[in-house]
Amino acid sequence: MAGGNNSSVTEFVLLGFTDLQELLFGIFLLMYITTLVGNLGMIVLIRTNSQLHVPMYFFLSHLSFLDICCSSSIVPKFLSVLIEERNVISFSGCITQFFFLAVFGTTEAILLAVMAYDRYVAIHDPLRYSVAMPHGVCVQLVVGSYAVGCLNALVHTSGLLQLSFCGPNLINHFYCEMPPLLLLSCSDTRLNKVVMVTCVGFVITTSVLAIAASYSRILLTIWSIRSAEGRHKAFSTCTSHLMAVALFYGSAAFLYFHPFSGRTEDQGKRASIFYTIVTPMLNPFIYSLRNKEVRSTLRRAMNKVFASVYSHRSRANQTKGGIARHGGVSGRNKADT
């Protein structure tokens, strides 16, 4: 890394996608709205329902928050890139965007490992679940996840700030990400590449190993359950998490472990779309469709809303009917007079 930032570049041009921009704008706007509605709905549902005030859903609410933040750090600027003629982002704005994406992405990777451990505790010893995972421990695990995310982001961001960018300033991407930024630097970026692969590899490897260890113990515990119904019920609580893990780590591994060779730029963009936009949109649906408690809670909440709307309309109709009857009686009284 160079000894200081002497960049002549003050802004970058995000090339994004050059074809079907109007269609892509509509698609990704709809996906972003779905992400916001789905994850905000999940957070509200968990916070307002006392039956979901358990560690599993506490972690899930933070996963939804991270999905909102991750998508919001990318999509608004991406949408503007699709419709504007001059698709620029300032140097400071680019670094800031990368920093927050690194924070939220790393935190989510750690949190998914924490959620795997939580599932192991719940299945291995369900009678002591609340004792083994008190609220204070859950808060510490979440805070630790955010701390690791901030530390990882600071390492990479400080490395970027030490580089010089002399031009060109064309980023063949739809947001500011480490691999395309390193390609534009006129400094020696070998140390940055090593640090990036090392840090990302360490986070992903340790998280995946923790998840694998947790699920190995889960499988052993499930295997010891005698009834087939009990085994199915125990494993069904893990399927949603496994699907979220596969989506997140699959796209992240492809994005970072082959950043400079072995893939085309279009492949990198598609992997980034899946990592930053598609996965945050799918997570609330994965958990709501595969989780019986979330489905039943959502069903009860919707029934309350529909009942409230129906009762409001019934009262309004009764009020209108009473006014009409009162008007009819008054008219007859006047006629009799």
Can you say whether residue 241 is alpha, beta or left, with left for phi > 0 and alpha for psi between -120 and 50 degrees? Answer: alpha
Give the range of the structural domain holding residue 86, as residue numbers without chain letter. 11-258+265-294
- Is the backbone peptide bond immediately before 55 cis, with ω within 30 degrees of 0? no
Whether pLDDT at 264 is above 70? no
Q: Is 3 part of any domain?
A: no
Q: Is 34 part of any domain?
A: yes
Q: Is 327 part of any domain?
A: no
Whether pLDDT at 203 is above 70? yes
Q: pLDDT grade, residue 59 (50/70/90)?
A: very high
Q: Is 51 part of any domain?
A: yes
Instruction: Report the number of distinct structural domains present in the chain.
Output: 1
Whether pLDDT at 3 is above 50? no
Q: Is 110 part of any domain?
A: yes
Q: Is 173 part of any domain?
A: yes
Looking up residue 281, the CATH number of its domain turns out to be 1.20.1070.10
Is the distance from CB of 116 to CB of 211 less than 8 angstroms? yes
Which of 15-19, 276-280, 328-332 shows the lowest per-residue confidence on average (mean pLDDT)? 328-332
Sheet-wide strand order for 88-90: 88-90, 11-14, 170-171
Q: pLDDT grade, residue 2 (50/70/90)?
A: very low
- Bridge partners (DSSP) of residue 13 are 88, 170
Q: Is 137 part of any domain?
A: yes
The CA radius of gyration of the chain, in Å to the nearest whole number, is: 26
CA distance 121 to 169: 50
| pLDDT given at position 40 | 93
Q: Is 66 part of any domain?
A: yes
pLDDT digits (tens, 9 = 90+) for 324-334: 555 555 555 55
